[in-house]
């Protein structure tokens, strides 16, 4: 992992919400690391996860970042010394896969005391430089980020109700055509070479773009601040829903052993 150079100018308001959102890091993984990682993940079977219903191959939580030969933990430490890797994910997308429209990652952020603290490092193992290559789009405009936070609040409220049904129900979050059009017209879709990294807060709207030919492969890491706080009630809610159980159970055991 060499030549870590951050590029991309970002709106000033993000500093107070998610200071790393929208950063692009060139050459985050060296060619050698990419090849080792691709071989390792390629040899693994798909997980039994709902991601597998959407992507041609999905491995939820391969935990390959723990392999010392890959040196991924050290690369993250150099780039973001105040963060640690919580979980990882591998996705392969083909022209037959629809992927996700604009969404937030409910299963990943739901247990965070402050969901905006969750940071995703998205690393394509194949180039995603042009339309049809399976790029990732994120929102950067303040209006789009604020709309994301309304969605987030609605999700956190619903999750609390899983544990405590006495909390009054609130209408589901729905976006209008105008709002969807706004997200589409203001999205940020950076061209990335294999081994580059896009950092983004997955509490904000993001989407995977179409793959028109071949295959797009991406390795994804979920990072949290080393001093992050985790919400007991919402952890229990996710456990009850059967969402992200490996991470949820580990966090319950570590921080709330009486509830696990």
Rounded distance between C-alpha atoms, residue 233 and residue 249, angstroms: 13
pLDDT at position 260, please?
Answer: 61
Convert the pLDDT of each residue in 46-59 to its tens digit: 987 767 678 889 99
Convert the pLDDT of each residue in 209-218 to its tens digit: 999 999 999 9
Query: Hey, what domains does the chain have and what are their CATH numbers?
Result: 5-255 (2.60.120.620)
pLDDT at position 106, please?
Answer: 85
Q: How many other C-beta atoms can be found within 10 angstroms of the C-beta atom of residue 225?
A: 15
Phi-psi domain of 118 (left: phi exceeds 0; alpha: psi -120 through 50; beta: other): beta
Rounded distance between C-alpha atoms, residue 205 and residue 123, angstroms: 18
User: Do the bridges between strand 216-225 and strand 119-124 make them parallel or antiparallel, or are there none, so unpaired?
Assistant: antiparallel
- Dihedral pair phi/psi, residue 96, rounded to 5°: -85, -5
pLDDT at position 52, please?
Answer: 67
Q: Which residues of the chain have pLDDT under 50?
A: 1-8
121 to 87, 153, 199, 233: CA distances (angstroms): 11, 23, 5, 27
Half-sphere exposure of residue 3, counting CA atoms within 13 Å on the CB side?
7
């Amino acid at each position: 992992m060499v030549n870590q150079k951050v590029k991309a100018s970002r709106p000033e308001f993000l500093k107070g919400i998610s200071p790393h959102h929208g950063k692009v890091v060139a050459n985050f993984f060296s060619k050698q690391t990419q090849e080792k990682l691709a071989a390792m993940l390629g040899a693994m079977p798909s997980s039994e996860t709902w991601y597998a219903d959407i992507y041609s191959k999905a491995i939820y939580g391969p935990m390959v970042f723990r392999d010392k030969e890959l040196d991924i933990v050290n690369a993250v430490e150099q780039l973001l010394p105040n963060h640690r890797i919580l979980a990882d994910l591998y996705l392969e997308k083909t022209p037959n896969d629809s992927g996700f429209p604009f969404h937030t990652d409910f299963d990943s952020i739901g247990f965070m005391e402050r969901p905006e603290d969750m940071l995703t490092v998205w690393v394509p193992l194949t180039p995603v430089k042009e339309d049809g290559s399976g790029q990732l789009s994120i929102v950067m405009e303040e209006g789009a980020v604020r709309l994301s936070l309304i969605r987030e609040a609605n999700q956190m409220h619903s999750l609390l109700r899983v544990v405590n049904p006495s909390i009054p129900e609130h209408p589901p979050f729905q976006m209008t055509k105008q709002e969807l059009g706004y997200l589409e017209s203001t999205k940020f879709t950076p061209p990335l070479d294999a081994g580059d990294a896009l950092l983004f807060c997955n509490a904000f709207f993001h989407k995977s773009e179409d793959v028109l030919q071949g295959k797009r492969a991406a390795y994804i890491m979920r990072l949290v601040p080393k001093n992050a706080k985790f919400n007991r009630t919402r952890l229990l809610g996710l456990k009850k829903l059967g969402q992200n159980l490996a991470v949820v159970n580990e966090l319950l055991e570590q921080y709330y052993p009486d509830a696990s």
